[in-house]
Amino acid sequence: AARFVFTLAEEDRAALGVASDTRSAVLPLVTRAQAPIKATRHIDCDAALIGTWTWQPNRIGLDWFLTKVVPHLKPDFRIRIAGSIPSSISSPHPGVSFVGRVPDAQAFVRGAAVIPLISTAGSGVQLKTIEAFELGLPSVATSRSLRGIGYRPDNCVVTDDPIAFAAALQAAAANIRDVDGSAFHRRQLKALDAAIGHGLEKLGAVRQEVAA
């Protein structure tokens, strides 16, 4: 039977065998209905990461960051890592702090000069990336952290090389450059509306085909 499918990532269309625009549409994601208002930030660390680090794809990214990137950071570079941390994870770097659960995730990331986006495994779209872009925060991202996201703000540096990643973090923290995240939010909403409209049009055609 004919069908039309909505997915949340481009790679899911191929996996489901519905890669044609007549069979499926990708829904770009936002994390909030309204774009956040750009406001003055109080910076209390150089970099901040938050996540469920007991989840294997997140754990793989954190292991990569702590073992491959962090050794190339200056000793006074301050990194705060929030969320559930397996007891086996540690770092000899003097600037790394594991802070556990935080009461306000958005306030936590807004307190950092730069956001490392460290995904190296897993599938789907990274909500951490979308939130950082919506907030207009400077970021350094692996290419995998940008999967499913077609737009990259000017203050996001992309590299999969650990040494270059560390250098980009230090450069971003030394010269903090926020952008207006509402531009990214508007772009995502516009693309989401277009995908839903396309999908509803195709679903109408499917219903007519079935009725006939």
Look up residue 152 and give its two tokens.
Answer: 């990259």
Q: Could you give phi then psi for residue 10, rounded to 5 degrees?
A: -60, -40
Rounded to whole angstroms, how far apart are CA atoms 212 and 196? 24
Q: What is the pLDDT of residue 18?
A: 83
Q: How confident is the model at residue 24 (pLDDT cuts 50, 70, 90)?
A: confident
Question: Which of these CATH numbers, 3.30.572.10, 3.40.50.2000, 3.90.1570.10, 3.40.50.10800, describes 45-184?
Answer: 3.40.50.2000
Per-domain boundaries in the chain: 45-184
pLDDT in tens, 88-113: 999 999 999 999 999 999 999 999 99
Residue 1 scores a pLDDT above 50: no
Please measure the distance between the N-terminal and C-terminal CA atoms of the chain and give it in whole angstroms. Answer: 13
pLDDT in tens, 132-167: 999 999 999 999 999 878 788 999 999 999 999 999
Q: Could you give phi then psi for residue 157, rounded to 5 degrees?
A: -100, 135
